[in-house]
Structure 1
Amino acid sequence: MFAKPPTGSFGATPREIRNKLRQYQDRTEAAPDAFIRYELPGILNDNRDAIAKLLGAPTETVVFVPNATAGVNTVLRNIDWDDDCKDEILYFSTIYGSCGKTIDYLVDSGRGRISSREVRITYPCEDHEIISSFVDAVEDSKREGKRAKLCLFDTVSSLPGVRFPFEAIAKTCKEKGILSLVDGAQGAGMLHFDLEALDPDFFVSNCHKWLYVPRSCAVLYVPFRNQGLIASTVPTSHGYISKSGERFNPLPRSHPIPFINNFQFIGTSDTSAYLCVKDAIAWREKTFGSEDEIIKYTHGLAREGGKRVAQILGTEVLDNKTGTISRCATTNVALPLTLEQASRASAWMMERMVFEYKTLIPLFTHNGRTWARISAQTYLDIEDFEWAGGVLRELCERVEKGESTEVLY
């Protein structure tokens, strides 16, 4: 059913849900005008309702976008940055690469109107240290005559794959009058959420990673108070309402809430994956149990599986003393290589994984060591982690024998 073991990068979709995807694609092709104009809006609403219930949010506050990067771009490109050139975007050094580059682009193209400020994180560290560093960055911004306007932060970071204290940072943002943009790319299906209680200013999460929805599908949450800030989708489409007057919209079925209507149709993109969210959530529950059961299993498997891989490699798992950063479905295990060996061989090792072992375990360097990130999914067990540990050990042994000097594929 699935590739073994998964990386958490792109997700995996069961055959039953892939069949649903193709059914929606076939319905679209059978009668494009009838389906897109008249049937699609209602099916979208049903799926928005399903993801809203999972995330603890009102249905009218969630829409679908292609992926988390698109959601982050949508928010950042809609914010009205002040002409006094004091606005700053705060982010953490573990930011996902494309989101970091989006901030870079906004700064580069803003002609001095926007600046950015990085908050450094070095793991293992405790949650209170991260919060303290964030508060210090806000104060530094103020002392330098800047204004911390928005902070972008993760639920579970990509590299390393650790849980971030997003609840505390969202609360601190509210106390400091800073807009909070939560990048929950590794979120829905991995962690419990109650967005009404968390109350971020913006939240985005992929549905194709842990909910087993086909690629590409993500949910963007914008509370009612901020929906007026999101004037346009990316790209702009028929739902946009100009301040100079509304142009003709050729689509007959409009949602009464302008924010929802804005995201209902964006060009002729294939959004069939959006229509599978309800089915995927139901499939997970039917196959693996409740959300509580799923999260308990995957978090426990990541914890125990990480320990087993570390035992096989003779190394250690990345964690802090309180164990907060490992309360998720990913684990990070150190490789038994020197930093010099690993820096030369990481690309070779990952390529060998793909073409020889039919898997991919991301390797990355953090705090002077090279780590492997492994994800725990509902369809895996401890034997899969033992297999992954064996692959990593074998590749490390091949590196030590000098194989990584061979020409890459």
Structure 2
Amino acid sequence: MGSTKHPKDESIPFGAALKKEFPFDPQFRNLNHGSFGAAPRAVLAKLREYRDRADAVPDIFLRYEYPRKLDESRAAIAELVNAPLDTVVFVPNATTGVNVVLRNLVWDADGKDEIISFSVIYGACGKTVDYAIDSGRGLVSRRSIEIEYPLEDDEIVDAFRRAVETSRSQGKRPKIAIYDTVVSQPGVRFPFEELTKLCRELGVLSLIDGAQGIGMLPLDLSALDPDFFVSNCHKWLHVPRACAFFYVPFRNQHLITSTLPTSHGYQSQGVSRPNPLPQDGTKPAFVNNFEFVGTLDNAPYLTVKDALAWRQNVLGGEQRIIEYLWTLAKEGGKKVADILGTHVLENKKGTLTNNAMVNIFLPIKTSPDTAAPSLASDGQIVIPLQDANKAVTWMLSKLMDEYKTFIPINGHAGRWYVRLSAQVYLDTEDFEWAGHVLKGLCDRVGKNEYTE
């Protein structure tokens, strides 16, 4: 990828030239930005400033200065996603937001409520659904929609409509649906806009897990109008870990009575307990509730406005960043697939790769009928099914120990694939390098090195 011009005609090259802005080990290539993100040195310096101020004058900062600075970051996020200021608060991560919603909802005593999700739900969120079922004393059940890629968006939307219709035909009540903006594994764009419209049409609450969202997708929450939305800022917005914004429109804030854990902002219906923290009577109870959730290091929340300023002033703004990420993921993924002799996971309309991650199939498959690695007629390496975990573990260890990188290797619909993340400090050379490294490791698997 070549350099592009800043709006002020200053040349700000994306790619290798930007790596110095991040505190990476010089030998490390961060090709898995989608898991833990990365913050630039400039934003990390602001993080240290906030922490130092908290240590210098703890009470003054935490009780009085922190809420004002938190409001500045809330305002910055609200403007970016086009949401009213007092519909946006912060939580540590997207999984926390999902937990907050499911632990606050009240299930009907008739036991007919259902939680609808998809088989590609993020693991921790899937387990949160499990917990809601297990702790619900029979008041709520689950309905999972099986997804096997590649699929067209309308097929997913149709499957959701059928699931709701089936639920109701069986005497159930589909109360809330959980779905992604971009699925984590495989890293593909999900039709969340269409699903949100359908949820409104069908009278189902929408809970969008946008863990892979802000910073790599354009978001307009006023237009989208979900019932609940949470997105990690530390993944794609260059904010230090751990930070996510949590959006709840005014119409639903009465449903979210407790933070996680419950803290000073909770207002019981039966007992009155004092709140020892300063209260701003101009803010909704929802905002006051999430302002202080125990004594935690919430300094990353304060850096959101700084990260957005850095992205605007140094990188040229959100549109330029997103365009680069999507283009790099698409072009880089194709180069990796060409090197491996495979293809990118994509559908006919090309919507799955409309994000900053790309999934490329490996030239490896497993078979229960083979006793040792062999080469199939289509050129694929075939290994014994029982060796799958051992081979993947071996490949990951070699990626880390020999090549100083990490690339997720997973399976979907019987195929092995890798997920690569595009980012402003990477370019197509990084993807080509990854392709050759993966090709070499696949060849070594074919030679049975993973059993040595």
TM bucket normalised to smaller: over 0.9
- When structure 1 is superposed on structure 2, of 155-164 and 391-400 the one drifting more is 391-400
Structure 1 length normalisation: TM-score?
Answer: 0.97
The aligned counterpart of 1:269 is: 296
The aligned counterpart of 1:306 is: 333
Map 1:48-87 to 2 at 5 A: 48-87=74-113
State how far apart, in whole Å, the 2-side matches of 1:161 and 1:294 are: 19
Contact 1:127–1:165 (8 Å) recurs in 2: yes
Which residue identity is paired with 1:128?
A: D
Correspondent of 2:227 among 188, 201, 211: 201
Correspondent of 1:96 among 122, 142, 166: 122
The aligned counterpart of 2:30 is: 5
Map 1:215-364 to 2 at 5 A: 215-254=241-280, 256-340=283-367, 341=383, 342-364=388-410
Identity percentage of aligned residues: 59
The aligned counterpart of 2:136 is: 110
- When structure 1 is superposed on structure 2, of 22-31 and 246-255 the one drifting more is 246-255
Correspondent of 2:62 among 25, 31, 36: 36
Displacement of 1:6 in angstroms is 3.0
Q: Deviations over 1:12-35 (max 9, x none)?
A: 111111111111111101111110
State how far apart, in whole Å, the 2-side matches of 1:245 and 1:213 are: 39
**Which has the larger Rg?**
2
State how far apart, in whole Å, the 2-side matches of 1:152 and 1:404 are: 39
Contact 2:186–2:359 (8 Å) recurs in 1: yes
The aligned counterpart of 1:151 is: 177
Q: Does residue 128 of the first structure (1) align with residue 154 of the second (2)?
A: yes
State how far apart, in whole Å, the 1-side matches of 2:266 and 2:254 are: 12
State how far apart, in whole Å, the 2-side matches of 1:108 and 1:175 are: 29
State how far apart, in whole Å, the 2-side matches of 1:345 and 1:57 are: 47
Q: Name structure 2 gaps, 5 residues minimum.
A: 1-21, 368-382
Contact 1:91–1:119 (8 Å) recurs in 2: yes
Which residue identity is paired with 2:168?
A: K
Contact 2:279–2:288 (8 Å) recurs in 1: no
State how far apart, in whole Å, the 1-side matches of 2:280 and 2:438 are: 53
Map 1:155-166 to 2 at 5 A: 155-166=181-192
Which residue identity is paired with 2:427?
A: D
Displacement of 1:85 in angstroms is 0.4
- When structure 1 is superposed on structure 2, of 353-362 and 199-208 the one drifting more is 353-362
> What is the aligned-residue RMSD (CA, Å)?
1.1
Contact 1:5–1:384 (8 Å) recurs in 2: no
Paired residues, number? 406
Correspondent of 2:430 among 354, 377, 384: 384
Displacement of 1:344 in angstroms is 3.8
Structure 2 length normalisation: TM-score?
Answer: 0.88
State how far apart, in whole Å, the 2-side matches of 1:127 and 1:237 are: 41
The aligned counterpart of 1:25 is: 51
State how far apart, in whole Å, the 1-side matches of 2:155 and 2:389 are: 29
Q: Does residue 370 of the first structure (1) align with residue 416 of the second (2)?
A: yes
Which residue identity is paired with 1:261?
A: N
Q: 3-state DSSP class of the match of 2:144?
A: strand
Displacement of 1:232 in angstroms is 0.2
State how far apart, in whole Å, the 1-side matches of 2:254 and 2:181 are: 25
Displacement of 1:356 in angstroms is 2.3
Displacement of 1:343 in angstroms is 4.6
Displacement of 1:245 in angstroms is 4.0
Q: Deviations over 1:317-337 (max 9, x none)?
A: 000000011111110000011
State how far apart, in whole Å, the 2-side matches of 1:232 and 1:153 are: 22
Contact 1:5–1:388 (8 Å) recurs in 2: no
State how far apart, in whole Å, the 1-side matches of 2:285 and 2:437 are: 52
The aligned counterpart of 1:405 is: 451
State how far apart, in whole Å, the 2-side matches of 1:116 and 1:283 are: 43
Contact 1:161–1:373 (8 Å) recurs in 2: yes
Q: Closer, same or farther in 2 for the Cα pair 1:253/1:39, shift >3 Å?
A: farther
Q: Deviations over 1:197-246 (max 9, x none)?
A: 00000000000000010000000000000001000000000011111243
Displacement of 1:144 in angstroms is 1.4
Which residue identity is paired with 2:319?
A: D
Q: Deviations over 1:233-268 (max 9, x none)?
A: 000000111112431111124352100000000111
Which residue identity is paired with 2:250?
A: F
Q: Does residue 47 of the first structure (1) align with residue 93 of the second (2)?
A: no
